[in-house]
Amino acid sequence: MTARRNATRGTAYEEGLLFERSRPGRVGAALPPLDVPDVDAESVLGSRAVRDDDLGLPEVSEVDVVRHFTRLSTWNAAVDLGLYPLGSCTMKYNPKLNEKIARLPGFAASHPLLPESELQGFLELCWRLEQALAEVSGMDRVTLQPAAGAQGELAGIMMIRAYHEARGERRRQVLIPDTAHGTNPASAALNGYEVVAIPSGPDGILHPEDLEKRMTPEVAALMLTNPNTLGLFETHVARLAEIVHDQGGLVYGDGANLNALMGEARPGDLGIDVMHFNLHKTFSTPHGGGGPGAGPVGVKNILAPHLPAPVVRKRDESEGGGFTLDHEFPHSIGRLHGFFGNVGMLVRAYAYLRSLGRDGLHHCSRMAVLNANYLLARLRSVFHAPYGPTVMHECILSDRHLEPAGVTTLDLAKRLIDHGYHPPTIYFPLVVPGAIMIEPTESESLEGLDRFVDALLEIEREAREDPESVKTAPHATRLGRLDETRAARRPVLRWDPASDADD
Ligand SMILES: Cc1ncc(COP(=O)(O)O)c(C=O)c1O
């Protein structure tokens, strides 16, 4: 096995598989003595359930395994290592208190098939979380089932479709501004709707006259993100909702950016009929990344009959009190997730809500907005900033001023890695060519923000004086610039025994 060494760090960047480290007879665990009768498995389970062939698992020691995974973990960028300024699909810091609460055995070790009487604490948590989310957003009811923001959107549009169908209407279109996240048109299209894009105005927000031109009785819904993905508050939201409602349509609110609004404004008060929450963007749960996330959906009472069943219900004292799962939703869109959704996320979000309380959440939103504006104020004299002068939770820059040096947004993002930062979201929103989208969130200190700005300013200076070093970045990582135009040429990762020589 060969390993090339990274010039900057002097470390081997290749890591073999545990299977390659396997040595016959090497073990990493000592099992306790058998404390149950030794039975012939085949006679109990039947031959189809028992394998006698070698599973071919790696035979490795504990230290082999610990070092392997610890080494791999150092290859990752992580929000626990530093600012993670990814706009839109933001990953905000997850307080460790949430982790502690989610690991309480009553939550972490409960079996989902326990009878309701044994799940009262958990059902109460779900009910309380629903109430809290409804209060923050101004919605009437909430479902916790969807596994991600995107699935929440799907659920919301399904409910909108069910609502129109229950009224005997078959509407064909969903209107979506051109600044929307890609999941919006995908959710509408998956529900069989034709997606009609509406251009945002030169100031980056949607204008009533542009909506009016496209709003007809064929339109089932407007999907509106507020603040939008340019980090701008849709100031006409109430009028936009009125225009849609006047023609019998509904307004879907993409609530992914609620982190900018808590305690300041509630989507439900602004005319939104249904919205999803991205727990990872607002209530500090880890981002599912296609995995075990959570994207609860809040609805106004008109859509409540269509909520995914079952729904947690607080029983009256006359029914014996406590909490129960209500399956009686004849107009429900159906179940979206097994059991109760991704429970660990719900517990973390509830812990976050309770530990901050009303004033704490309000303070979070104010700090998130202040931080984004601080970044924009420090960067806009050097980088092209197409919108502003002030923003909400995130700010957008572009590579326009880097063009004379032949340096692009992609180059800048790669060079930021050398400064120890996960790159921001790039080339989104689509309405900004060469977009660099930065969402610092509320957790960064002033010094942390200044360090990040200094890194960006340093890259901008380097782009003018030594563009090659930016265009060939990253230089300090285990792998250099990948040829992203040829994904088929994937690097083979191998372990170099020499790198372990001084272990
Ligand atoms: C504006 C917006 N809408 C929808 C989504 C989709 O959410 P998720 O990644 O949880 O599916 C995101 C991503 O976080 C987003 O930023």
Q: pLDDT tens, 7-27?
A: 434 444 578 899 999 999 999
> What local confidence, expressed as pLDDT, does residue 461 receive?
98
> What local confidence, expressed as pLDDT, does residue 3 receive?
36
Point out the ligand 1 atom lying closest to the alpha carbon of residue 152. 11
Point out the ligand 1 atom lying closest to the alpha carbon of residue 280. 10
Q: What is the mean pLDDT of residues 372-396?
A: 97
Q: List pLDDT tens digits, range 237-292.
A: 999 999 999 999 999 999 999 999 999 999 999 999 999 999 999 999 987 554 57
Which of 86, 89, 252 gets mutated to test ligand 1 (max ligand atoms within 8 A of its CB)?
A: 89
- CA of 491: how far to CAs of 85, 361, 483, 484, in Å? 27, 44, 10, 12
Question: Is residue 501 over pLDDT 80?
Answer: no
pTM for this entry: 0.88
Structure-model confidence comparison of residues 89 and 263, the more confident one: 263
Point out the ligand 1 atom lying closest to the alpha carbon of residue 88. 16
The residue ranges of DSSP E strands in 216-309, in sequence order, are: 219-225, 250-255, 274-277, 297-299
* Parallel, antiparallel or unpaired: strands 173-177 and 194-198: parallel
What are the tokens at 423? 């790159």
Domains recognised in the chain with CATH numbers: 18-73 (no CATH), 97-353 (3.40.640.10), 359-471 (3.90.1150.10)
Atom 12 of ligand 1, residue of closest alpha carbon: 89
> What local confidence, expressed as pLDDT, does residue 485 receive?
63
Q: What is the mean pLDDT of residues 158-169?
A: 98
Instruction: Say how many Å lie between the CA of residue 241 and the centre of ligand 1.
Output: 22
Point out the ligand 1 atom lying closest to the alpha carbon of residue 293. 10
Q: List pLDDT tens digits, range 425-448.
A: 999 999 999 999 999 999 999 999
> What local confidence, expressed as pLDDT, does residue 5 receive?
41
Atom 9 of ligand 1, residue of closest alpha carbon: 149
Tell me which amino acid residue 480 is. Answer: G
Instruction: Say how many Å lie between the CA of residue 37 and the centre of ligand 1.
Output: 52
298 three-class SS = strand
Which of 278, 336, 396 gets mutated to test ligand 1 (max ligand atoms within 8 A of its CB)?
A: 278
> What local confidence, expressed as pLDDT, does residue 493 receive?
44
> What local confidence, expressed as pLDDT, does residue 327 receive?
87
Instruction: Say how many Å lie between the CA of residue 345 and the centre of ligand 1.
Output: 16
Which of the residue ranges 67-81, 222-236, 377-391, 392-406 would you say has the lowest mean pLDDT? 67-81
Q: Mean pLDDT across the chain, nearest whole number?
A: 91
- CA of 383: how far to CAs of 123, 136, 424, 470, in Å? 50, 35, 14, 16
Instruction: Say how many Å lie between the CA of residue 482 and the centre of ligand 1.
Output: 26
> What local confidence, expressed as pLDDT, does residue 1 receive?
32
Which of 183, 396, 437 gets mutated to test ligand 1 (max ligand atoms within 8 A of its CB)?
A: 183
What are the tokens at 429? 């929103």
Instruction: State the greatest distance between any 2 C-alpha atoms of the chain, in Å, as a whole number.
Output: 78
Tell me which amino acid residue 94 is. Answer: N
Q: What is the mean pLDDT of residues 181-207?
A: 97
Instruction: Say how many Å lie between the CA of residue 65 and the centre of ligand 1.
Output: 35
Report the C-alpha gap between 224 and 404 in whole angstroms: 36
Which residue ranges have their beta carbon within 6 Å of ligand 1?
88-89, 148-150, 181, 183, 225, 229, 254, 256, 278, 281, 293, 295
Residue 499 gets which letter from DSSP?
G
